[in-house]
Amino acid sequence: DAGVTQSPTHLIKTRGQQVTLRCSPKSGHDTVSWYQQALGQGPQFIFQYYEEEERQRGNFPDRFSGHQFPNYSSELNVNALLLGDSALYLCASSRDDDTEAFFGQGTRLTVV
């Protein structure tokens, strides 16, 4: 079992650019959640996808958007990047009928 995989592992973008991060859930999982983790902080919930729909959303601006595909994989898009968007972006997958969530290794985004 490959577990939750995220790509890329690192990337550097310039302010104002757009970025797309990708996540493949653990086998058998149908729910994908995205979190942002700033240095020295706990992860903050961005949004959750289930059945290709955004089911819940945290306190993040509309610049953050996402998508879930029929194979349950997911993308996180961030437009008009700000320096403050620099963080570790984490994808977590779970089964809709189960509370336990498993995380990927994260994507380290640096905005310069």
Partner 1 sequence: EDQVTQSPEALRLQEGESSSLNCSYTVSGLRGLFWYRQDPGKGPEFLFTLYSAGEEKEKERLKATLTKKESFLHITAPKPEDSATYLCAVQAGWDSGNTPLVFGKGTRLSVIA
CA 36 from centroid of its chain's CA atoms: 7
* Residues lying near partner 1 in the complex (CB under 8 A): 4, 6, 31, 33, 35, 40-45, 48, 50, 55-56, 58, 88, 90, 92, 94, 96, 98-106, 108
Nearer to partner 1, 9 or 18 (CB): 9
Nearer to partner 1, 15 or 55 (CB): 55
- The least distance separating partner 1 from the CB of residue 24, rounded to whole angstroms, comes to 13
Q: What is the DSSP string of 56-103?
A: EE-S--TTEEEEE-TTS-EEEEE-S--GGG-EEEEEEEE-TT----EE
Nearer to partner 1, 16 or 75 (CB): 75
d(CA 5, CA 110): 20
- The least distance separating partner 1 from the CB of residue 36, rounded to whole angstroms, comes to 11
